[in-house]
């Protein structure tokens, strides 16, 4: 029976979407713009031959109607297209839930004030419930900047660093040794409970290590505390029907551990990729392996490191043959993304973009899937593949993958 592998290249947008004007993102294009920046800084064209063969470059050109510096080839195998998000936000839960067949059609709650971001009533409740006399931060910030600014003070006085962003998040950074990982998780769980009706999508534990601002580094022990999706996702449906659903990376956290049967954590592109390969080599028939490659987003997109992003893409491309070679004849691989995060774009936030839809099995020729009007087309395809009740949103492209 079929197995499916979904690999989310976190933040890998391929051109601003029609509603990008509502988000201030007209002109954003994560792949094209980082390719130009890489060429301008290094004099080299980004080299993605394996992803190009699967149709990635062609999908980006179709989504954005533009050429850009790249090194690759025309599509020769696999199905390729580009998908538009219909969820109201450009955040991680919205993107993942929509690709699992449940778009977010309500408005998230946000902390919009750049300073003193959290209401006093909330911070008072948090302090009382946790026993701390206060918190550091209480502002909009990027994860690396706030560690450089407040990490040493945090170690000295012991207060957690709390901050937010343009996303619907409450983030807490704390030193793994001085504050303690278990204490950080407990603090986050308390905050999650106290957010109540504010409709904040995630509380994120951001542990770090290091001695001073010069060497503070976030660790792989991040944990996301998400609210539940507003309806059962395709993961819930296939898991209930007997499919073994495996999470690699932060997938389980994003789905509030619903519809997940097995979880594997890993840190870094190679470790996440290796964990995915290990599951492909060992998972039973009738399994879904769902991986998020978070480093593209957190290490390069948000940090506006176009060259680093390009090199990480080249590193991923080099490993694509391993992934394809591990597939059995009944396996179907899907590569996609959850939103954009153009490293050349002003600020440090996500960008509203189309995402790639790439699908592959061992007997497929090159197929152009074109413009998919919602990420939920992937969830609908998964529902059809595993023969469960159709989702309320999306159109399956599975028939396109198995044309005779």
Count structural domains, the chain. Answer: 2
| 12-16: average pLDDT | 97
Q: What is the pLDDT of residues 322-351, one digit of tens each?
A: 999 999 999 999 999 999 999 999 998 999
pLDDT at site 370 = 97
Residues 6+ apart with CB under 8 A from 317: 47, 48, 49, 50, 51
Q: Is the pLDDT of residue 2 over 90?
A: no
Q: Is the pLDDT of residue 180 over 80?
A: yes
Residues 6+ apart with CB under 8 A from 69: 35, 36, 38, 39, 45, 46
Cα distance between residue 33 and residue 122, in whole Å: 40
305 domain-assigned: yes
pLDDT at site 70 = 82
Q: What is the pLDDT of residues 255-290, one digit of tens each?
A: 999 999 999 999 999 999 999 999 999 999 999 999
Domain of residue 185, residue span: 120-226
Q: Is the pLDDT of residue 72 over 90?
A: no
Is 330 labeled as ligand-binding? Answer: no
177: phi then psi, degrees, rounded to nearest 5: -90, -50
Boundary (domain end) residue, out of 198, 226, 254: 226
Which one has a higher pLDDT value, 191 or 65? 191
**Same domain (yes/no): 258, 381:** yes
98 domain-assigned: yes
39 domain-assigned: yes
pLDDT at site 404 = 57
Is 10 labeled as ligand-binding? Answer: yes
Residue 361: other Cβ atoms inside 10 A: 20
291 domain-assigned: yes
67 domain-assigned: yes
Q: What is the CATH number of the domain that holds 76?
A: 3.40.720.10
83 domain-assigned: yes
**Same domain (yes/no): 240, 175:** no
112 domain-assigned: no
115 domain-assigned: no
Is 22 labeled as ligand-binding? Answer: no
**Same domain (yes/no): 179, 317:** no
Boundary (domain end) residue, out of 196, 226, 256: 226
| 89-109: average pLDDT | 96
pLDDT at site 22 = 96
Percent of the chain with pLDDT over 90: 93
Boundary (domain end) residue, out of 197, 226, 255: 226
**Same domain (yes/no): 179, 149:** yes
Cα distance between residue 242 and residue 254, in whole Å: 21
């Amino acid at each position: 029976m079929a197995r499916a592998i979904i690999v989310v290249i976190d933040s890998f947008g391929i051109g601003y979407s029609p509603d990008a004007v509502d988000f201030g993102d007209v002109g954003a294009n994560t792949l094209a713009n980082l390719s130009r920046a890489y060429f301008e800084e290094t004099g080299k064209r980004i080299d993605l031959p394996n992803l190009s063969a699967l149709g990635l470059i062609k999908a980006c050109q179709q989504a954005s109607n533009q050429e850009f510096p790249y090194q690759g080839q025309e599509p020769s195998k696999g199905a390729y297209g580009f998908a538009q998000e219909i969820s109201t936000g450009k955040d991680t839960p919205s993107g993942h839930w929509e690709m699992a067949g449940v778009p977010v059609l309500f408005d998230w709650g946000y902390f919009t004030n750049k300073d003193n971001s959290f209401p006093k009533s909330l911070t008072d409740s948090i302090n009382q419930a946790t026993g701390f006399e206060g918190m550091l931060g209480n502002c909009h910030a990027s994860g690396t900047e706030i560690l450089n600014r407040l990490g040493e003070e945090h170690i000295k006085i012991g207060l957690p660093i709390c901050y937010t962003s343009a996303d619907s998040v409450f983030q807490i950074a704390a030193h793994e040794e001085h504050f303690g990982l278990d204490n950080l998780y407990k603090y986050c769980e308390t905050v999650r409970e106290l957010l109540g009706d504010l409709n904040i999508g995630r509380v994120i534990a951001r542990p770090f290590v290091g001695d001073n601002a010069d060497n503070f580094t976030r660790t792989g022990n991040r944990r996301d505390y998400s609210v539940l999706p507003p309806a059962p996702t395709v993961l819930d449906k296939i898991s209930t029907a007997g499919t073994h659903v495996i999470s690699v990376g932060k997938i389980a956290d994003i789905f509030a551990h619903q519809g997940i049967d097995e979880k594997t954590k890993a840190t870094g592109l190679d470790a996440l990729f290796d964990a995915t390969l290990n599951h492909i080599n060992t998972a039973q028939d009738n399994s879904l392996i769902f991986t998020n490659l978070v480093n593209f987003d957190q290490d390069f997109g948000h940090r506006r490191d176009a060259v680093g992003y390009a090199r990480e893409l080249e590193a991923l491309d080099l490993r694509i043959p391993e992934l394809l070679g591990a597939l059995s004849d009944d396996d179907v691989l899907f590569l996609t993304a959850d939103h954009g995060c153009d490293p050349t774009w002003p600020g440090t936030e996500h960008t509203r973009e189309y995402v790639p839809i790439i699908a592959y099995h061992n007997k497929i020729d090159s197929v152009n899937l074109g413009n998919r009007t919602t990420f939920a087309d992937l969830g609908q395809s998964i529902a059809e593949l595993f023969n469960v009740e159709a989702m309320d949103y999306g159109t399956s492209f599975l028939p396109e993958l198995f044309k005779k």
